[in-house]
Amino acid sequence: METPRIDIWYGIAEIMDFGYPQNLSPEILKLYITQEGVRSPFSSKPKDKPVPNATLQVTGAVGWRREGLAYKKNEVFLDIVESVNLLMSSKGNVLRCDVTGKVLMKCFLSGMPDLKLGLNDKIGLEKESEMKSRPAKSGKTIELDDVTFHQCVNLTRFNSEKTVSFVPPDGEFELMKYRITEGVNLPFRVLPTIKELGRTRMEVNVKVKSVFGAKMFALGVVVKIPVPKQTAKTNFQVTTGRAKYNPSIDCLVWKIRKFPGQTESTLSAEIELISTMGEKKSWTRPPIQMEFQVPMFTASGLRVRFLKVWEKSGYNTVEWVRYITKAGSYEIRC
């Protein structure tokens, strides 16, 4: 325990020198740990790795990337992950809706590459058309709110040219985060009807419609339909997937593993309630919740137009781009 503690002090001293934040990048901090952990005698012998000069990197122009990296195959992975938050009234009016998105990157690139990313966002496109002095292409442009970048992005160039250009750190990192409040494409529509028939019976009818492209499909769709606490017996009819009553969360849980686009699916259930002693408290009707993942679909409509890699040696790179939309808190009142 003694050794790690010294390391922790050392690390903290590097991070917060005299109480001022100095160096928060974990990649660099790793370099400071010169101690070896306690190794069991049976584990393989430690590799002799060159001890890179941390000081140089910190004080250098590109603090977040070591020099002299080399990969056989130069690859870049780019994921756009969005989560949709929705609150819809029982009549289908959208009460609150927004998308929070992240651009995640994983770089395996040699040397000191310079990358440039082009998205179909509004300001970027306008600036581009202005510079190239030609009218902006008609097509969907996205307005991004609250954009935050990783420290590697060159902000001066972003301010002047509105392009995202950067020297990436090695490995995995989050390039940017954003939020969108307008023009959200909702992947699912839910039409619930819940009828209370007397004190001990209820009828639930839920129709779920997928409104994304027919070629796409959603995975892991779960619809949670709340029911009163005194639910005793349930009877289901579903067109797809499987449903059951989960008493510990007081919900009917309807699971559909794969949900193709432009289709619809319904659940109808008859519920019997048990009579209770306490005075009948009216049921508060909590909202229906939904979980899903839709690959290759962005609720915001954001697309990567280009990802350019430029390096002195001029090697070829392979770029991989993925999109995925998940449900945040996707709630429909009933």
Contacts with other proteins by CB under 8 A lie at 230-233, 245-250, 272, 274-278
CA distance 323 to 329: 19
CB of 201 to other proteins, least distance (A): 11
Nearer CB in complex with other proteins: 167/269: 269
Tell me the CA distances in angstroms from 195 to 158, 200, 268, 290, 300, one per residue in order.
Answer: 55, 11, 11, 20, 35
Q: How far is the CB of 333 from other proteins (least distance, A)?
A: 23
CA angle 15, 113, 27 (to 5 degrees): 20
Report the DSSP pairing between strands 304-310 and 251-260.
Answer: unpaired
> What would the DSSP string read from start to end of 78-91?
EEEEEEEEEEE-TT
Distance of alpha carbon 201 from alpha carbon 258, whole angstroms: 31
Burial 291-317 (b: 16+ CB within 10 A, else e): ebbbeebbbbbbbbeebebebeeeeeb
E-state strands within 23-162: 75-88, 94-108, 114-119, 145-149
Least distance to other proteins from the beta carbon of 273, Å? 8
DSSP state letters, 30-42: HHH--S-----TT
Name the residue nearer to other proteins (CB basis): 230 or 265.
Answer: 230
From 288, 80, 302, select the one nearest 182 (Cα to Cα).
302
Pick between residue 39 and residue 233 the one whose CB is nearest to other proteins.
233
153 or 202: whose CB is closer to other proteins? 202
> Least Å distance between CB 279 and other proteins?
10
Closest to other proteins by CB, 143 vs 272, is 272
Shortest Å, Cβ 223 to other proteins: 19
**Shortest separation between residue 274's beta carbon and other proteins, angstroms:** 5
230 vs 300 by CB, closer to other proteins? 230
Contacts of residue 282, Cβ cutoff 8 Å, sequence gap at least 6: none
The least CB distance from residue 221 to other proteins, in Å, is 23
What gap in Å lies between CA 178 and CA 99, rounded to an integer? 8
Q: For other proteins, which is the closer residue by CB, 95 or 274?
A: 274
